[in-house]
Structure formats: structure tokens, C-alpha cells
């Protein structure tokens, strides 16, 4: 059976991981399996930047992926980057198997405010849908309310809703139907 695997990369609140997983299962029509947590990604730390390479975290997630997993999502509290950007809220392989989201800049404490667990949960769910959506072949959406719209900062995340827009839902469902018919995994080129 194909599932979406989820793994905390370093310490992450288990109820938050569970809430993200429940939403992903409803959105992408697949069960979610929560895997044993992975250790902190010390191998991905860049001392010059004081951040963690999302590319290296993605590689480590791919090594953990079981063949029965259609996709795997890592969730970390570490601040992620790619060389061309000062930070990323997440990253995914387009039409691939792995994605990761960072909670660092989704937390109110990052901006000097008191913790807000409900706001963090809402933001994390939107970003998880966004990144897992990329693995299923969804690209950035022009609808700013759709979780597939591009987010360059937390204010953009707050503008989004947690549910795919009609256009993105249609694209996903078409790909999912092909996959169910035996034409390959959702999002696969072909």
C-alpha cells in the first residue's frame, strides 16, 4: 500500500506532526505513516550561514524512504536555506518523492512574539500541503488563497488557506486517477 511517510527531523512536537499528517491524508487521498524521528541534521549545518541545507536534508530523507511510501515529508524546527536564497520555508522534489518543511520561521517566537501553537499548526499545514503538492507535480498557483501559491515570507503563508483551490485539485485528481489506473505514480512525467 502506498502511503505518505512523515518524519520529524530533530525535536518536533508529536501532536503537531500528527495534525499535519491528518490534513495531508485528507488532501492527497493517501494514508500517512508517522515514522520514527530522525536525529538533528547536524550533517546539513552550514556554520557560515548558521542554517541547515535543505538539499542535504532532502537527500537524507530519500535514504529513509521505504518503497511502500509514495512520498516522504520531513518536518524540522531548524532554519533551512538553499544557496540562492537567504532562507526557505520548505523544499521539495518536483514530481519526486521527498519534501521538507521548516517550522523555524513559522513560529511567532522567531519574530519576537509569544508562542502561538494554533497559528504554528495552521502555517505548518499550509506549508506541508505546498511542499507535498510539489512532489505530486503541482506548481505554483496564481490564486493567493491556494496553499500552492508562492510564499516568500510568513505574511504570504497567513494569506493562504489550507485547502487546494479548484484548479490545483483538478490537476492532482487527474494525476491520482492515472496512478490508480496503473499509469505510474502521481506526478510522474510521462
Is a pLDDT exceeding 70 seen at residue 184? no
- Tell me which H or E stretch contains 127: helix 117-135
The pLDDT, as a whole number, for residue 183 is 52
CA distances (Å), 190 to each of 50, 67, 139, in order? 40, 20, 16
Average pLDDT over residues 58-66: 89
CA distances (Å), 87 to each of 82, 154, 190, in order? 7, 12, 32
The reply to whether the predicted model has a pTM over 0.75 is yes
The pLDDT, as a whole number, for residue 189 is 38
Write down all domains in the chain, each with its CATH number in brackets.
3-138 (3.40.390.10)
Is a pLDDT exceeding 50 seen at residue 190? no
The pLDDT, as a whole number, for residue 6 is 96
The pLDDT, as a whole number, for residue 46 is 95
The pLDDT, as a whole number, for residue 67 is 82
Secondary structure (3-state) at 70: strand
Q: Residues with catalytic annotation?
A: 131
Cβ neighbours of residue 162 closer than 8 Å, sequence gap 6 or more: 23, 122, 125, 126, 129, 147
The pLDDT, as a whole number, for residue 186 is 55
Is a pLDDT exceeding 90 seen at residue 134? yes
Average pLDDT over residues 115-141: 96
Confidence of residue 177 (pLDDT cuts 50, 70, 90): confident
Between 24-33, 59-68, 97-106, 143-152, the lowest mean confidence (pLDDT) is in 59-68
Q: What is the pLDDT of residues 108-126, one digit of tens each?
A: 999 999 999 999 999 999 9
Amino acid at each position: 500500500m502506498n502511503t505518505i511517510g512523515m518524519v520529524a527531523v530533530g525535536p518536533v512536537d508529536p501532536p503537531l506532526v500528527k495534525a499535519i499528517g491528518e490534513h495531508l491524508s485528507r488532501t492527497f487521498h493517501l494514508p500517512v505513516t508517522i515514522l520514527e524521528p530522525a536525529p538533528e541534521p547536524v550533517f546539513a549545518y552550514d556554520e557560515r550561514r548558521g542554517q541547515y541545507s535543505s538539499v542535504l536534508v532532502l537527500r537524507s530523507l530519500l535514504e529513509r524512504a521505504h518503497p511502500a511510501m509514495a512520498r516522504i515529508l520531513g518536518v524540522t524546527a531548524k532554519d533551512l536555506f538553499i544557496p540562492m536564497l537567504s532562507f526557505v520555508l520548505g523544499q521539495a522534489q518536483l514530481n519526486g518523492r521527498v519534501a521538507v518543511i521548516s517550522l523555524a520561521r513559522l513560529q511567532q517566537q522567531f519574530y519576537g512574539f509569544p508562542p502561538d501553537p494554533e497559528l504554528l499548526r495552521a502555517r505548518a499545514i499550509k506549508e506541508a500541503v505546498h511542499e507535498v503538492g510539489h512532489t505530486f507535480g503541482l506548481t505554483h498557483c496564481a490564486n493567493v488563497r491556494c496553499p500552492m501559491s508562492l510564499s516568500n515570507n510568513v505574511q504570504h503563508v497567513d494569506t493562504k488557506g489550507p485547502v487546494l483551490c479548484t484548479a490545483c485539485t483538478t490537476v492532482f485528481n487527474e494525476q491520482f486517477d492515472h496512478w490508480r489506473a496503473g499509469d505510474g505514480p502521481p506526478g510522474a512525467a510521462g
